[in-house]
Structure 1
Amino acid sequence: MTAHYIVEEPATITIGSDLLGCVSMPQRHTAENMSTKMKTVLDEYDLGQRVAVIVTDNAHNMTAALRVGGWRFWGCFAHSLNLIVQAGVKEIEETGRNVRAIVTFFRRSAHASAQLKATQERMGLSMLKLKIDVPTRWNSTMLMLQRFVTTKMAIISTMAIINVGHASPNLENITNTEWIVIEQIIELLEIFDIITQVISSEKKFTASTVILFHKQICRHLTQSLARPDLMPATGQVARKMQTECESRFELLEDSEMVAQSTILDPRFKKLGFIRETKYSKAIEALVRMVSRIDLDTNLI
């Protein structure tokens, strides 16, 4: 568990972060057990009553544990984006499988890897190694595809030189159509990569940005689907990600914490909202909250 907090100094306000604990949990990861473990860590630092919100992944047992503990929580936005991307790329599962098979072949075969390097050198290209994606590592799918496309000519040439079909019969060459789809998928995923990097910052306030980022993603997917040159397979990926966005972020503007953070951010305020009604509701809630604050008359 990591604590993030605000440090108020006479002239500045900064964000601080400290690791509270990294503990083993041999018992079953039930909601009750996990809640007890988190409470133990918080009580050790006397933070039990000072938690504003707990940010966690979207695993059911984790969210259930936070409900058991009575804490306000927020599902990690970056983790949700990764789940959306993973759901989308499953729509081109066969192409993805072929790419991973080729990448794995070059990474595991010393001979093939040496040949790829020699081909890159002969072509005057940068000496780049292929990357493999890991579902739990954010943006790794896009990074794998980017590197694959960057080394496209070297891969095609090397596969022909070493007669890869004979060396590894399970490998299939990427078709021209698949290359186009891969390039379009990279363009689809780039916005997810950029937003994930921004939202993952531990030195900036980011809660106020998530509604705006959601708007940008929705607009990006809609514009992508309107492209006349969009391949059918790419369209399937974009539509799947659209559906996932609508499902996962349907109640985004209903979150009191996120809505109020957006309003109070001078960069966004009303512009950060998608629906006028949600903005009005958030304003009313904020006014009620402020009206309950007892002001210290000595400061007036």
Structure 2
Amino acid sequence: MDKFIKRTGTVLDNENDENIPSPKRTKKEISKVWEFFKKGSNQTATCLKCGKVYKTSGNTSNLMQHLNTAHHLDSVQNNPSSLSPCMDKFLNKTKQYENGSARKAAIDKAVLKMIAKDVQPFSVVTDPGFIYLVKTLDPMYKLPSKTHMRNVTLKSEYEALRIKLQDVLNQVEHVGITTDCWTSKANEGYITVTVHFISSKFDLQSAVLSTDKLITPTSHSADTIAASLKSVLTEWDLLRKVTTIVTDNDASMVKACRNLELKHLPCFAHTINLLVQEVLKLPMVSPSISKCKRIVSFFKSSTIAYEKFKQAQGSKKAYSLVQEVPTRWNSALYMVQRILATNDHISTVLLVTPKAPQPFSAEDIFFLEDFANILEPFEHATRSISQEKNASISILIPVICELNKKMVDIKPNIKTTEGKSIFDFLTARMPERFAHYEARTVPRVATILDSRFKKDGFLSQSNADQAAKALENELFNTLSKTQHDPPTPPNPEPEKKKFTFLQQKVAVKSKSTRTDAIIALRQYLEAPNSPENVEPLEFYKTCPDSMEALKSIAKQYFCVPASSTASERIFSKAGQVISERRSSLKPNIVNKLLFLNKNSFLSDLN
């Protein structure tokens, strides 16, 4: 019976099971990885952050690995969170800004600006300290990956600033250009092009147009430079607006400008550098400079000697010594000046330190004093014409005049025979290096347009007269384009003239643009010169409407810088961008970073 009952129960149970619906199969949870990837055709998945495509047949391990390594999303797990939305809310999880929101886009832009302005690597967005700082400032903001910052945010901001700069340049009639070639730490050749112009408010503004490889990287010839430069100027629609291109004295640069049929001006700072480098190689100079470098190197390499040197000065703000840099002549001057300022302390340390170099003798110090006094005016001249905020082209010729005047004043104070030899060498070489600047139209016209100098800012009266004639021709051309015949008032009853011959002569005289140009020039030149502290752009901001023609010409000439230091400053910044840690940066990324770094003023334009 028990056996029957058991069997019957089993049968009944099976029969009942047929009428009971089977439980639903639990739906497989979707991996959180798909919040960051988009499924594509042919079993592919595209990363929503950087756009990289991966093969996948349902397995997400490689996708997870990409998120962890490329985007540092270690918190993403293939197993979905077991917490429900209510539980998440209960645990007070911080809500984050959605991708594409205005707030997140604004902060992304600010982070990129910090990277470009402070020359930080893109990997800063993965640094724990920076992440902690950002989370503390705004817990709802999540930093994008370095790949997204480089490929998306950088591109977007570059294009936006580029459009703004193009709009500004479209409203400008004349520009000055500086350019130079340089080699990066990755041993790649680049050419940088900067533009300079006068705004509608009569402010001098500068911008970087391009920092890119030469069109033919294997050749640095004049033809290659000209082709690369023409490509940049054509791209920005500036080829017909260029007043002058400023470069160094390299023959390839000069020939490139000639090939483009554009005016060329040798960088005045580079010309000074070439002259003083000749002085540093003179046989009466190089031994003393070598001794200075040797003593500085001794202190730099010995921590004990350097500490004694600081203690000997007995001051909280103790001087440090300066070492010469071969590519910059003024570093030799700074080295000598610092030695002269601390020579007593240097001698004190050297005399009590074993195996130290011999201290400077009295004759050495006398020579170094002559050396510093002779070269100081050239250092002041270099700084004067290297400014970017104020017009520098108009002071180029006056700076040369001042150099000649200071050399005359220095001569009686020279103490040593070697100093007199340096003086004689410089006074003989200065006309060969500098005289051609007074013969060039651009510096000539710019000098006479500067109300502080007018015809008084020249060494030669003949050159001053030539400058006045050139300005008169510019006024004539400008007035010919802008002047129109005045409207004739209605005269119903023609008046009978007694002297008809006079009427014809007066009519011809009133239409003479040349006469108007002569009168305008005479009125300008006969007016008192402006005080020395009045910058030329400030003068033309406030001058009367009757000088409109002069203002137009001033915009054409004052936009030209006297030196190519604007391009050279890009090299310095580029050296930080293309560092040893980031030597593999692609040229287009380098170009965009430097563009954002130097053109940040465009962000403030509406």
Query: For 1:260-279, what aligned pairs fall within 5 Å after superposition?
Result: 260-279=445-464
- Moved segments of 4+, more than 6 Å: none
State the partner residue of 1:7.
Answer: 199
> Higher Cα Rg: structure 1 or 2?
2
Q: How far did residue 265 of structure 1 move?
A: 0.8
Amino acid paired to 1:194:
H
Q: TM-score, normalised by structure 2?
A: 0.46
Find the residue that maps to 1:153 and give its secondary structure.
Answer: helix
Is residue 259–residue 282 contact of structure 1 (8 Å, CA) maintained in 2?
A: yes
State the partner residue of 2:405.
Answer: 219
2:482 and 2:312 mapped to 1: Cα distance?
73
Q: How far did residue 47 of structure 1 move?
A: 1.3
How many residue pairs get matched?
289
Amino acid paired to 1:76:
C
Report whether the alignment pairs 1:157 with 2:367.
Answer: no
Find the residue that maps to 1:103 and give its secondary structure.
Answer: helix
Is residue 249–residue 270 contact of structure 2 (8 Å, CA) maintained in 1?
A: yes
Is residue 86–residue 135 contact of structure 1 (8 Å, CA) maintained in 2?
A: no
* Alignment partner of 2:234 out of 43, 62, 66: 43
Query: For 1:1-300, what aligned pairs fall within 5 Å after superposition?
Result: 1-9=193-201, 13-25=202-214, 26-91=217-282, 92-121=285-314, 124=315, 126-137=317-328, 139-165=330-356, 171-227=357-413, 229-293=414-478, 294-297=480-483
- Over the matched positions of the two proteins, sequence identity in percent amounts to 28
Q: How far did residue 24 of structure 1 move?
A: 3.0
Pick closer, same or farther for the CA change 1:135–1:71 going to 2, 3 Å.
farther
Q: How far did residue 266 of structure 1 move?
A: 0.7
Find the residue that maps to 1:164 and give its secondary structure.
Answer: coil
Find the residue that maps to 2:239 and give its secondary structure.
Answer: coil
Pick closer, same or farther for the CA change 1:127–1:245 going to 2, 3 Å.
same
Q: How far did residue 234 of structure 1 move?
A: 0.9
What root-mean-square deviation, in Å, do the aligned CA atoms of Structure 1 and Structure 2 show? 1.9
Find the residue that maps to 1:230 and give its secondary structure.
Answer: coil
- Deviation track 1:39-83 (CA, whole Å, cap 9, x = no partner) reads 122222111221111111112222222222222111111221222
Pick closer, same or farther for the CA change 1:276–1:161 going to 2, 3 Å.
same
Deviates more, 1:21-30 or 1:99-108: 21-30
1:131 and 1:67 mapped to 2: Cα distance?
41
Is residue 188–residue 238 contact of structure 1 (8 Å, CA) maintained in 2?
A: yes
Pick closer, same or farther for the CA change 1:45–1:119 going to 2, 3 Å.
same
Find the residue that maps to 1:53 and give its secondary structure.
Answer: strand
Q: TM-score, normalised by structure 1?
A: 0.89
Structure 1: gaps of 5 or more residues: 166-170
Find the residue that maps to 2:246 and give its secondary structure.
Answer: strand
Q: How far did residue 125 of structure 1 move?
A: 7.5
1:284 and 1:55 mapped to 2: Cα distance?
24
Is residue 455–residue 468 contact of structure 2 (8 Å, CA) maintained in 1?
A: no
Find the residue that maps to 2:321 and give its secondary structure.
Answer: coil
1:189 and 1:144 mapped to 2: Cα distance?
12
Structure 2: gaps of 5 or more residues: 1-192, 487-606
Q: How far did residue 296 of structure 1 move?
A: 2.6
State the partner residue of 2:149.
Answer: none
Is residue 277–residue 329 contact of structure 2 (8 Å, CA) maintained in 1?
A: no
Q: How far did residue 28 of structure 1 move?
A: 2.6
Q: How far did residue 88 of structure 1 move?
A: 2.1
2:398 and 2:483 mapped to 1: Cα distance?
37
- Deviation track 1:96-130 (CA, whole Å, cap 9, x = no partner) reads 11101111221123332223223223xx4742211
Q: How far did residue 235 of structure 1 move?
A: 1.1
Find the residue that maps to 2:210 and give its secondary structure.
Answer: coil
Pick closer, same or farther for the CA change 1:5–1:214 going to 2, 3 Å.
same
Q: How far did residue 298 of structure 1 move?
A: 5.7
Q: How far did residue 159 of structure 1 move?
A: 0.9
Find the residue that maps to 1:205 and give its secondary structure.
Answer: coil
Amino acid paired to 1:247:
E
Q: How far did residue 172 of structure 1 move?
A: 4.2
- Deviation track 1:190-225 (CA, whole Å, cap 9, x = no partner) reads 212222212111011111111111111112112222
Is residue 194–residue 208 contact of structure 2 (8 Å, CA) maintained in 1?
A: yes
Is residue 276–residue 329 contact of structure 2 (8 Å, CA) maintained in 1?
A: no
Is residue 15–residue 204 contact of structure 1 (8 Å, CA) maintained in 2?
A: yes
Amino acid paired to 1:114:
E
